Amino acid sequence: MPHHTFLQLWLAGADSAACYQPQALDDGDRRRLQQHPKLEQRADWQVSRCLKQQAALPALSLSHSRGAALLACGSGLGAVGVDIEYLNPRDFAGLAEWCCSEQEQQWLAQGGWQAEPYYRLWCLKEALIKAAGLAFPADLPQTGLRWRADGSVYLYAVEQEWHGVSARCGDWMLAAVWQSATPLQPQWHCTGEFPQPDKLIFFPATAEGFNRFSYRHSG
């Protein structure tokens, strides 16, 4: 039988904490709680472990932020990484100086240092760092977006091109990256009241596909 390749992305918000079942924790999470018992009181912990229990497949990568969680699981894939972040106002120009390449800084500056492009880039970088096993924050500037002469954009880490997707869900931005022999469409699973993914960009991306959601235009 041919090996089936697929990627599932599970999303949940704080309301899913009610589904948390401590008796269903895996051995690794039980050990973590023994070492850090206060974790169990955090909404991030409860929501992310609820997702692991619902997915019923081994977790390939997990991220949480402000009571929301993103879980990747699947089969037939190489390395996988995910990240989710709540959109907060920050000094994006200052942050970009230490975490972005010159080309990435120019792109952010052209858009007026808006929150959505910055967090889109940041989530992709964090997901790549996790998937490639790189050092945080030292490897951030060398990891992320690269532009070709025709304006198309691809993801780059450890001298490799990666597949990926970037999306917005309400007040959160998220990203998933992966290695696979052929392109694939992730299967989305949103639990509870968490917003559906919107403004999706798949990588590698055409110039038109990438620029469509890069900036928020007025008028």
The CATH number for 195's domain is: 3.90.470.20
Cα distance between residue 16 and residue 192, in whole Å: 6
Are 122 and 88 within 8 A, CB to CB?
A: no
Number of structural domains (the chain) is 1
Any domain includes 216: no
Any domain includes 217: no
Quote the pLDDT of residue 216. 53
Asked whether the predicted pLDDT for residue 219 surpasses 50, the reply is: no
Quote the pLDDT of residue 3. 62
In this structure, how many other beta carbons lie within 10 angstroms of the beta carbon of residue 19? 16
- Peptide bond connecting 137 to the previous residue in cis, omega within 30 degrees of 0: yes
Any domain includes 218: no
Any domain includes 182: yes
Asked whether the predicted pLDDT for residue 113 surpasses 90, the reply is: yes
Quote the pLDDT of residue 2. 44
H/E run at residue 30:
helix 27-35
Phi, psi of 184 (to 5 degrees): -150, 160
Any domain includes 1: no
Q: Which residues contact 106 (CB under 8 A, 6 or more apart)?
A: none
Which letter does DSSP use for residue 145 in this model? E
Any domain includes 219: no
Quote the pLDDT of residue 192. 86
Any domain includes 21: yes
Are 132 and 143 within 8 A, CB to CB?
A: yes
DSSP string for 70-115: EEEEEES-S-EEEEEEE-----HHHHHHHHS-HHHHHHHHHTTS-H
Tokens of 55: 């997915």
Binning pLDDT at 50, 70 and 90, where does residue 57 land? confident
Any domain includes 113: yes
Binning pLDDT at 50, 70 and 90, where does residue 193 land? confident
Which letter does DSSP use for residue 186 in this model? P
As a whole number, mean pLDDT of residues 157-165 equals 96
Phi, psi of 85 (to 5 degrees): -140, 140
| Mean pLDDT, all residues of the chain | 93
Output the pTM of the full model: 0.93
As a whole number, mean pLDDT of residues 165-193 equals 93
- Peptide bond connecting 204 to the previous residue in cis, omega within 30 degrees of 0: yes
Q: Crossing angle for the helix pair 115-132 and 92-99, nearest 10 degrees?
A: 30
Tens-place pLDDT, residues 30-45 = 999 999 999 999 999 9
As a whole number, mean pLDDT of residues 119-147 equals 97
Q: Which domain holds residue 42?
A: 6-211
